[in-house]
Structure 1
Amino acid sequence: MAKTKILHIIKSLGRGGAEMLLPETLKLHDRENFEFHYIYFLPWKDQMVEALQKAGGKITCLEAKDNIRLLLQYKNIISYTKEHGIDLIHCHLPWAGFVGRLVHARIGIPVVYTEHNMQERYHIATKNINKLTFNSQSLALGVSEDVTCSINKNIHPEIPVQTLLNGVNTESFKRTGDSQIRKELGIPENAIVFGNVAVFRFQKRLVEWLQVIKKIRKENSNVYGIIVGAGPLEEEIKKEWKDLDLENVVFFPGLKTDVKPYFEAMDIFMMSSSFEGLPIALLEAMSMECAVVATDAGGIKEVIRNEQDGLTCEVDKWKKLPQLCQILIDDPEKLKNYKRAARERVVDNFSLTKMVDELEKIYSDFVKK
């Protein structure tokens, strides 16, 4: 029987949450019945290429220096689709979605679009293009109920929209007890380590994250921090880091394709975000038995049930985060319980295997049509 051929389109293959999902889902897909192709446009953002190739993905970069040139690649995508016998296109994030809709409008191939963010958070131009073109595709998937509600409220689509919660490979993201990163960074064995894995953008509020650590450190000299990632606000964030005199306390290892060793080093995964879709890094941290303290931004509140799976506060009350963290610092048994609860929550409800099974059913249903 011929394999069903799926083409994923995404703007970049850098170290973002949506990008990280692609190799992880590919590892679990039914390779006997499906074949996966990937097109991206920013050759300098290619951190996920090697992982996709190792997992058996077929990857092509159609270089585009800006969004207009990206859209103009639709003819090359049509040629690729015909040449390789692609059965369905799956687009991620707005600009990949826009070009996928152009392809759908011209050749009628089924196009599935995954929305990772709230419509309210997009630039007005992106929001308007999204609204104008949204119905020129087959199905939209929201990564959380919040995201799906935002689509319905702002776009009023005529096409089907459903929620498909992000997942994590709980067998791959499993704590082993390796403390090598702590040794490399010179963090004491008995320290309590707070962590985050993020693109350095304004919604992550990493300047505020550092301020929270500074406040916690006033009462707890054994607290350290690790922030894995990079991004446009790096200069501003590191200036705050220096101004707060946290240079030997909070560590910035940079952009990493393998984040598991850093989760191993963390006790508490802390997020101060102002908004989120459903963050992959949060699920990965929970799978690695990191206790969670966070604002309840976006999909976070769909994952973390306050005082059950972790501790949360309202987005605009992020200054409560030090108090919530102190609860876990003061009670090692409670910290241990929340670590265990985090792992149990993702294993039971946010397994990547479940997400992949649902995706394959969606693909098969459209291809049969």
Structure 2
Amino acid sequence: MNHPAHKQASTINKCQRIVHVVQHLAPGGLETMVLELLKQATREEQVFVVSLEGELEHALKHWPQLQRFDSQLLFLNKKQGAQLSLIRQVCDVFRQLQPQVVHTHHIGPLLYGGLAARLCRVPVRIHTEHDMWHLNDNKRQKVEDLALRIVNPILVADANKVQQQLAELYPYTAPTVIKNGVDCNRFVPGSQAAARRILGLPRDVKLIGTAGRLEPVKAQAFLIKAMARLSKDTHLAIAGIGQLEAELKKLSKALNIDDRVHFLGLVADMPSFYQSLDVFCLPSICEGFPLSPLEAQACNIPVVVTDVGAVKETLCPLSGITTKSNRVFSLISALETALKTKHLFSPRDFVVENNDVRLMSRAYRNLVTQG
């Protein structure tokens, strides 16, 4: 177990101590949202993140943004499968930190972190559901039902659709909606030419971009297949790493478009990535309330997304386009429309008004004061 809790406890007695519990602190939408809450902490707040899985050194290596917060990160190195002894480990962490607030994210952290918080009599317990696809499984539904009844947290949904599903599954709850936010001071419009130069992308082309783990659920293969039927002056930039990288590169080559598909790996400068684009596309077959469409729109880039989960709630209604998942020709049509449309309005305005990270942080802070 990697954690500096015993070193920190004596220095934070005068601060409100908030502990977020996640399954695995690695690049992803949920984890990025937690990191943003860490960044938004006030001087009166001391915020820690407990990652049930993983190790500190590995996390810092693969997500450099974590380095400035390394003294606030605790990794418990959980193995696969149920591990009841982990509740005791989490309790030990809570007894050392003595948090006033424990905030869990997803079902695993609710079980281990939520139960530990209840056992340690943490005054305010918050649980955020970031998507509902995992509760399609009947066993998971029952496990979450039991955990919610025992932990009795302030229940938060990150989208209206998630709130509706929670209320249907667990009618005794009263979930509040707090939508995820992005840093609109970081994700801003910029020079397309300069951004392409920074990333080594071609200058005089139409550029579609997508960002996310290279995994089946993100469905980059459908986007590559759509690319093969778009005009030859259209290129695709893919930001992200994952198990399908070799397979996706092979597909691009088989379709004779490997010169038009640019695999950028894990991009540290995501604002430049979005600024380089003409259109951002998220072709996923399953999502919760993703951050990438918000980040792209904050950079004033129009987006095309598949209508899954609560993705539609991330879209500027004046510029965003939805399409069906797993439908290449539907995706082609949506992308062609997005590329040829000249917008007279700003998708950034929608994000600034509805999804700035400071709005999200303030909403969670208000929950704590009310709790």
Q: Does 1:147 align with 2:162?
A: yes
Matches within 5 A, 1:192-341: 192-216=206-230, 220-304=231-315, 306=317, 308-315=318-325, 319-331=329-341, 334=342, 336-337=343-344, 340-341=345-346
Superposed CA deviations along residues 316-368 of structure 1, whole A, max 9, x for unmatched, are: 6563221222223334xx1x53xx522111011111111110111112222xx
Say whether the 8 Å CA contact 1:22–1:52 is kept in structure 2. Answer: no
Say whether the 8 Å CA contact 2:278–2:339 is kept in structure 1. Answer: no
Say whether the 8 Å CA contact 1:193–1:265 is kept in structure 2. Answer: yes
Change (3 A) 1:259 1:179: same
Matches within 5 A, 1:117-136: 117-119=131-133, 123=137, 125-136=139-150
Superposed CA deviations along residues 265-313 of structure 1, whole A, max 9, x for unmatched, are: 212111222232110111111111111112222222223255x132223
Separation in structure 1 between the aligned mates of residue 82 and residue 267 of structure 2, nearest angstrom: 30
Say whether the 8 Å CA contact 1:48–1:257 is kept in structure 2. Answer: no
Percent of aligned pairs with the same residue? 21
Say whether the 8 Å CA contact 1:20–1:48 is kept in structure 2. Answer: no
Superposed CA deviations along residues 15-73 of structure 1, whole A, max 9, x for unmatched, are: 1011112232322232x22110111121244468653452686111111122424x532
Partner of 1:54: 68
Separation in structure 1 between the aligned mates of residue 134 and residue 21 of structure 2, nearest angstrom: 23
State the SS of the aligned residue for 2:82: helix
State the SS of the aligned residue for 1:68: coil
Q: CA deviation at 1:201?
A: 3.0
Separation in structure 2 between the aligned mates of residue 125 and residue 301 of structure 1, nearest angstrom: 28
Q: Does 1:39 align with 2:50?
A: yes
Partner of 2:363: 358
Q: Does 1:26 align with 2:38?
A: yes
Partner of 2:128: 114
Separation in structure 2 between the aligned mates of residue 130 and residue 243 of structure 1, nearest angstrom: 44
Separation in structure 1 between the aligned mates of residue 268 and residue 107 of structure 2, nearest angstrom: 23
Structure 2 gaps of 5+ residues are: 1-12
Separation in structure 1 between the aligned mates of residue 137 and residue 259 of structure 2, nearest angstrom: 37
Say whether the 8 Å CA contact 1:193–1:224 is kept in structure 2. Answer: yes
Q: CA deviation at 1:94?
A: 1.9
Partner of 1:166: 180
Change (3 A) 1:55 1:178: farther
Supply the AA of the counterpart residue of 2:159: S
Partner of 2:3: none
State the SS of the aligned residue for 1:73: helix
Partner of 2:98: 85
Partner of 1:345: 350
Change (3 A) 1:185 1:48: closer
Say whether the 8 Å CA contact 1:229–1:256 is kept in structure 2. Answer: yes
State the SS of the aligned residue for 1:231: coil
Separation in structure 2 between the aligned mates of residue 210 and residue 48 of structure 1, nearest angstrom: 26
Say whether the 8 Å CA contact 1:187–1:224 is kept in structure 2. Answer: no
Q: Does 1:189 align with 2:189?
A: no
Q: CA deviation at 1:116?
A: 1.0
Partner of 2:7: none
Separation in structure 2 between the aligned mates of residue 345 and residue 57 of structure 1, nearest angstrom: 36
Supply the AA of the counterpart residue of 2:116: V
State the SS of the aligned residue for 1:187: coil
Count of matched residue positions in the alignment of Structure 1 and Structure 2: 354
Q: CA deviation at 1:255?
A: 2.4
Separation in structure 1 between the aligned mates of residue 200 and residue 99 of structure 2, nearest angstrom: 50
Separation in structure 1 between the aligned mates of residue 250 and residue 162 of structure 2, nearest angstrom: 33
TM-score (norm 1): 0.87
Change (3 A) 1:93 1:231: farther
Partner of 1:102: 115
Partner of 2:9: none
Say whether the 8 Å CA contact 2:222–2:326 is kept in structure 1. Answer: no
Separation in structure 1 between the aligned mates of residue 60 and residue 117 of structure 2, nearest angstrom: 26
Superposed CA deviations along residues 103-137 of structure 1, whole A, max 9, x for unmatched, are: 13422323211111114665554444223322233
Change (3 A) 1:270 1:281: same
Q: CA deviation at 1:100?
A: 1.5
Q: CA deviation at 1:243?
A: 2.1
Separation in structure 2 between the aligned mates of residue 122 and residue 175 of structure 1, nearest angstrom: 39
Structure 1 gaps of 5+ residues are: none
